[in-house]
Structure formats: C-alpha cells, structure tokens
Amino acid sequence: MAAAAAWASPLAAAPWSAGETAEEWQMYSVTTSPGPPEPESDFLRKLNRLVYALHRIRRGEYGGDVIARKYGASLKGLQATNNNELLYLLPGQKITVINKPGYLYQVRSPRGESLDQIAKRFYKSAASRKRFEEAVVEANNLPGAALLHSYVFTQGAHLLLPGISFQFDTYRFPFRGFGWPRISSRFGMRYHPILHRRIFHDGLDLPRPWGSPVYPSRSGTVLFTGWKNGYGNLIILKHHDGATTYYGHLSKIEVKPGDTVLRGKSLIGRVGSTGLSTGPHLHFEVHDRFGRLVNPIHKIGRR
C-alpha cells in the first residue's frame, strides 16, 4: 500500500500498528504528517471519522468507481478531490482517497476561510448556501459555531463537502466508450516503419478498422482540416485553454474550420491510412497551449 497522507480531524496524533482494530483507530488524529503505512480500505470504510490517505492503484483497479466502493466514498467525490475523472487508472498511480461520500476541500488562503465563504464558491442563493452549510457541519461533526461568520478555518484545514461534483473538460480517447484502446505505437522514440530510421513519435497510433468513427478527445473548435504532409488527412481542434489535439491519417473528414464540436458526441472523421501510414489507424496528438507536445497517455482523464 502507499504511504498515508495527512488525516483530517483536529485531534492529537498517536502512533499505531498493523494489528489494531477499527475501534482503536477512532482515537487517532487525522492531521498527522505523511509517513505511516496506508490502512486497508476495510478499516477506513468502518470509521465514523473522516479520514483521507493516498492509495496506490493495483492491477484490476481500472476505474474510480472500484476505488470508491472499497473506501465507502462516492465516485463524484473522488473525481472532485483528485481533479480527475478517474476513467483510466494505471498500476502504480497514486490518488487521494476518503472514507465518506463528498469532496475533500482544503483551505488554501493564508487568511483562512469561513464556512460562508466556502459555500459562496459553490452556491449563489442564500437559501442553498444555508442548507449546504448545515450539511457540512453535520458531515464533519463541527460545532454549531462553525455556522457563524466569525468562525474561520485556518489554512491547510480539510472539510468534507457533501453533494459537490465537478464538470470535467478532460481528455478521453477519441472513440466512443471508456475502454482502453490498443496502442500500436506509443509517444517517444521509435523505429519508423516507412522511413526506416529512429525518429520521435509525436503521439499515439490507435489501430481501428477502416472507416471507424472518430470523436473529439475534448470539446473545442475546429482549427484546421485538410492534407498535411505525413499526417495525411488531418483535423486539428483547439480547446478553451489553448491546447490543441491532432487526428491524423483519416479516410474522411466530417467537419470544417470554425465548427464547434463536443467531446465524444460530434463525429469529426473516420479512420483511414492516408499519409505516411502502413495500415488503418488514428494518429492522435496533444499539444499544450504553448504548442509543446504532451504524451497523450498522461492527459487521459485529466485537464
């Protein structure tokens, strides 16, 4: 298991051993510094107190819903806590886990924040904020004084915010569905099958039958369509943060420059083998807002 992160209650710290029961864990602090081994998910799920830790993904844990069930959390809460859709998880990857449904919020302002200030980040109406603040007090076992404007949570404090979820504009593989596609050539140095020399590969090659539909990895605007050197038929999409994605070797282009396209919904093209290609596949690239290449694998499920 991975090393534990800080634990989330203002009580004093105490050491523990692997043989302790869930009841014995109740007396321990949830604000200790990282270091102790992460407890088994069964321990955390049984605790009444809010606890969070780092979890290292194991083989077979391929989605955030699996992790959420193990710890008694909610998928939307884990997604918000990690700023990640958690659609594609790799063995060895670390994520923050909590043992309650909700979003783990950390106070970052050096001046601290009141509960009312936190509520205003998520709700506009006074009535909605009041209901939310009462739910936060109950979820975190806080004193009633936390509902007063003068009650301030200091920098670094953690709160469980029930019912909070984020809308993610994250990268996905450019096909329908959430499965992990076959990758015939990865990002980085490789021996080019046509040029017959080692050369840097700017993206991922994703084999698919000729004519398979291609969808945007993220929502955005069509920046370029047409033939471009070794890419063959190419589509370039620009996203709201300035990043761009490339879709190459297409057999057919279904959009034109200026079109607005939606992630996973707008058909933009079809798989082909145009340009420098040895068979039908999609060449998929990601560039950041400065135009620098990014390994697409590192962006899937993230902004």
Q: Lowest-pLDDT range, 114-123, 139-148, 283-292?
A: 139-148
Any idea what the Cα angle at residue 105 is, between residues 23 and 294, rounded to 5°? 115
- The distance between the two most distant Cα atoms of the chain, rounded to a whole number of Å, is 71
- The domain defined by 188-298 folds into Glucose Permease (Domain IIA) (2.70.70)
Q: Where in the chain is the domain with CATH 3.10.350.10?
A: 22-101
Distance separating alpha carbons of residues 35 and 130, to the nearest angstrom: 38
Is the pLDDT score of 60 beyond 90?
no
At residue 140, the pLDDT reads 93
At residue 39, the pLDDT reads 64
**Per-residue pLDDT tens digits for 143-172:** 988 898 788 999 999 999 999 988 888 899
Is the pLDDT score of 285 beyond 80?
yes
At residue 151, the pLDDT reads 87
Kindly give the pairing relationship between strand 244-253 and strand 158-161: unpaired
Q: How far is CA 67 from the centre of its chain?
A: 13
Q: Which CATH class is domain 22-101?
A: alpha beta
At residue 63, the pLDDT reads 84
Token pair, residue 232, equals 């063959």
Q: Where in the chain is the domain with CATH 2.70.70.10?
A: 188-298
**pTM assigned to the model:** 0.67
Q: Lowest-pLDDT range, 96-105, 188-197, 239-248?
A: 188-197
At residue 192, the pLDDT reads 86
Is the pLDDT score of 282 beyond 70?
yes
At residue 150, the pLDDT reads 82
Average pLDDT, the chain: 86
Distance separating alpha carbons of residues 53 and 51, to the nearest angstrom: 7
What percent of the chain shows pLDDT beyond 70?
A: 87
DSSP string, the chain: -PBP----SSSPP----TT--HHHHTTS-S-PPS-SBPPPHHHHHH-SS--EEEEE--TT--SHHHHHHHHT--HHHHHHHHTS--SS--TT-EEEEESSSSEEEE---TT-EEHHHHHHTT--SHHHHHHHHHHHHHHTT--GGGGSTT-EEPTT-EEEETT-------B--SSSSSS----SB-SEEEE-TTT-SEEEE-SEEEE--TT-EE--SS-EEEEEEEEEGGGEEEEEEE-TTS-EEEEEEEEEE---TT-EE-TTTS--EEEB--SS-SSSEEEEEEE-TTS-EE-GGGTBT--
At residue 30, the pLDDT reads 47
